[in-house]
Amino acid sequence: MTAPVAALLSVRGLVKRFPGVTALQGVDFEVRAGEVHCLLGQNGAGKSTLIKVLSGAHRPDEGEIYWRGELVSFGNPTAAMRSGVAAIYQELDLVAGLSVADNVFLGHELSTMGFSQRAEARRRTRALLDLLGHPEISPDRDVGQLSVAHQQVVSMARALSLDGQLLIMDEPSAVLDPDEVRVLFGVIRELTARGVAVVYISHRLAEIREIGDRVTVLKDGRTVATGLSAREVKTSELIALMTGRVLDNVFPDRKPVAPDAPEVLVVRGLGDGDRFRDVDFTVRSGEVVGLAGLVGSGRSEILETVYGARKAADGTVEVNGRALRRGSVGAAVRAGMGLCPEERKSQGLLLDQAVYRNITVSSLSSFARFGFLDDRAERARSGRLTEALDVRPAGVDRVVRGLSGGNQQKVVLARWLLRECRVLLLDEPTRGVDVGARSEIYELIRELADSGVAVVVVSSDIEEVLGLADRVLVLREGRVVHDGPADEIDESQVLDLVMEGHAA
C-alpha cells in the first residue's frame, strides 16, 4: 500500500466463543470508505459470526473494533445502525404484512409526540429507493409481495435510512438470478461512489473479481490473509488460503467396491420442478457416493426428494429394483432407506426425550406386540447399539438435548442401524461435530458401507466428501456437472466446478 488511507472500520484480534466452540479466534481486517471489501472462507470459517459481531448482534469476547478511529462496542444492532453500520442478512429481516416504508423505518419510526409521520416516512423511503435505482418500488407496497431481489433493495434502503456508512452483505447473490445480480452490482457501485463502504460475502469468485476491491480470507475463525487485491490475486492462491488445513481429519481407508455389487439405489431423471432437474445416479451396495455443491445448489433438496420428504415432479427412485411412491417417507423407510437430516436438532431428534426413544422411533412396531411396547427390549437393544457406537455419556435414559453434537449424530445413526437399513442418506453428517468425534463418525460410515449399505453423503466440506466417498457428484445450480471417482479429482477442482461450472 502506498498512501495510507484512513480506515473506516478496523478490527483487531477479535475472538468470539460459544459453548463448546470458538467461532472466531483472532480476526483482523480493516475497511476503507468507498471500497467493496470481500470476505472469503469456507462454511464454518466464521464469516457469519464475524458479521453478527460487527453489526452488534453478538458481543466479542476479546479484541477491538474501531469505527472512524474510535474504539466502539455496539451493544445491539440498533446501536450499530445508529452509528452507521448495517448488516443485510441472507434471511432478510423484513416484516411481511407491513409496507415498504414501515419496514424501512422499523425500530426508528419517524414521529412527533408519539404520532407517526407517515407522509414524511413515505417521502424519505421514496428518496432512498430512487437513490438505489429502484423508483418502481412503491413505499406503500406490502413487503411480502415483493420479489426477493426487491426485498433486498428494501433491506438496503433500511440500512441507509440511518445514514449508513458501512453495509455488510451476507451472500446477497445466493438468492438472485443473474439479471438481478447485475442490478445489485449497479446499486453497490452507486453506493461506493458516494463513499459508502460495503463488506461483501460470497462464495462465487467471479463475483468477487467483478465487484470487489480487496479480499480478506478467513479460515477456522482466523484471518489468514487480508488486503489482497480482488482483481489480481490468483484463484489458486485464494483456494489454497481457504482450504490449507491446520487439523487434518483422518479418513478411513476405502475398500474397492466390487464391480458386480448390486445397484441398491437407482435415481433416474429426478427433478422437483424448481431447484434441481435431471439428476441421475446409482449407488451400489458397499459404495459411498458424495454430493458436493454450494448452499443453494440443491444438494439437500435432492437428498430429501430421494427420501420422499419432498415430492418429486419428475423421475424415479428405485431401491433394490422397486420404484418408490413419490413423496412418501413411509415408503422409503419401509424399502430400507434412512436419512440423517441436515438440521439434526430440528429435523432429526426428539430433543427432550430419552436416547432409547430416539433410537427406536423408526422401528417401534418391531418392539410391539398387538401395539403394546416391550420397553425392556427397547432399552436393551438401544443399549447395545449405543455401546457399540460409544455414545458418551452412556445411558439410554438420558435426554438427547444434553449430548454433544457428535453423540447426537451417533444416536441418529443408531436409529437406522437398528432398522438394518440398506440405503443411508447423510446430510452434513459432521456439522457441529468436533474433530475427534468426526473421525469416529467417518469410520462408522465406512464400516456401514463395508457391511453392504449403500451410502449417500452430502457435505459443504469438500475435503469431507472427497475423503469419505468412493464416487463424487458435483452439483451446480441444481444440475450434476461432474460424476467420477473421488480419487481422480482434488479439492480445488471441485471448488472450481461448484463456483464456475467447469474444471480448471
Nearest to another protein of 95, 373 (CB atom): 373
Beta bridge partners of 99: 142
Which of 80, 396 has the CB closer to another protein? 396
Residue of 164, 286, 348, 405 that binds another protein (CB under 8 A): 348
Q: Is 112 in the site for another protein (CB under 8 A)?
A: no
Contact between 326 and another protein by CB under 8 A: the answer reads no
In the complex, least distance from residue 384 CB atom to another protein, rounded to whole angstroms: 17
Contact 78, 107 (CB under 8 A): yes
Which window, 28-36, 126-134, 267-275, 333-341, contacts another protein (CB under 8 A)?
333-341
Query: What is the Cα–Cα distance from 256 to 275, expressed in whole angstroms?
Result: 33
**What is the C-alpha separation between 156 and 436, in angstroms, rounded?**
42
Cα 66 to the chain's mean position, in Å? 29
SS3 state of residue 254: coil
Least separation, in Å, of the C-beta of 465 and another protein? 22
Q: Of these, 20, 178, 256, 371, which contacts another protein (CB under 8 A)?
A: 371
3-state secondary structure of 206: helix
Do 273 and 288 meet the contact criterion of CB atoms below 8 Å apart? no
Least Cβ distance, residue 413 to another protein (angstroms): 13
The smaller minimum CB distance to another protein, of residues 310 and 446, is found at 310
Q: How far is the CB of 453 from another protein (least distance, A)?
A: 17
CB within 8 Å of 279: residues ≥ 6 apart: 267, 269, 270, 271, 302, 315, 479, 480
Least spacing, CB of residue 345 vs another protein, in Å: 9
Smallest distance, Å, CB 306 to another protein?
13
Among 339, 411, 414, 453, binds another protein (CB under 8 A): 339
Q: How far apart are CA 161 and CA 81, in angstroms?
A: 9
Among residues 6, 119, 206, 364, the one that binds another protein under rule CB under 8 A: 364
How big is the site for another protein, counted in residues (CB under 8 A)? 35
Q: Is 19 in the site for another protein (CB under 8 A)?
A: no
Q: Which of 100, 333, 389, 457 binds another protein (CB under 8 A)?
A: 333
* Identified binder of another protein from the candidate list 121, 233, 349, 423, rule CB under 8 A: 349
Helix, strand or coil, per DSSP, at residue 5: coil
Q: Does residue 264 sit in helix, strand or coil?
A: strand
Cα–Cα distance, 233 to 5 (Å, whole number): 21
Nearer to another protein, 255 or 401 (CB): 401
The residue ranges of DSSP E strands in 33-177, in sequence order, are 36-40, 62-67, 70-72, 85-88, 111-112, 115-116, 166-170
Q: How far apart are CA 12 and CA 27, in angstroms?
A: 6
Instruction: Examine residue 361 and tell whether it contacts another protein (CB under 8 A).
Output: yes
Nearer to another protein, 67 or 307 (CB): 307
Q: Which of 373, 377, 435, 503 binds another protein (CB under 8 A)?
A: 373
DSSP 325: P
Residue 260 φ then ψ, to 5° = -100, 10
User: Is residue 307 part of the contact set for another protein (CB under 8 A)?
Assistant: yes
Cα separation, 34 vs 197, whole angstroms:
5
CA pair distance 66, 73, nearest whole angstrom: 9
DSSP letter, residue 346: I
User: Does 172 sit near another protein (CB under 8 A)?
Assistant: no
Grid cell 447426537 — which residue? Answer: 408
350 forms part of the interface with another protein (CB under 8 A):
yes
Nearest to 257 by CA among 289, 279, 292, 281: 289
Q: Tell the smallest beta-carbon distance from residue 346 to another protein (Å).
A: 6
Q: Which of 92, 98, 106, 329 binds another protein (CB under 8 A)?
A: 329
Query: 49 or 408, CB closer to another protein?
Result: 408
Q: What is the spatial distance between Cα 167 and Cα 195, in angstroms, rounded to a whole number? A: 11
Min separation Cβ 309 and another protein, Å: 6
Only one of the segments 4-12, 167-175, 197-205, 352-360 lies at the binding site for another protein (rule: CB under 8 A); that segment is: 352-360
Q: Does position 265 bind another protein by CB under 8 A?
A: no
Of 377-416, binders to another protein (CB under 8 A) are 397-399, 401, 415
3-state SS assignment for residue 455: strand
In the stretch 412-451, what mask flags binding to another protein with x, by CB under 8 A?
---x------------------------------------
Place of cell 440423517: 340
Element (H, E) at 369: strand 368-369
CB of 291 to another protein, least distance (A): 18
Residues that bind another protein in the complex, under the rule CB under 8 A:
307, 309, 329-330, 332-334, 339, 341, 346-354, 357, 361-362, 364-365, 367-368, 371-373, 375-376, 397-399, 401, 415
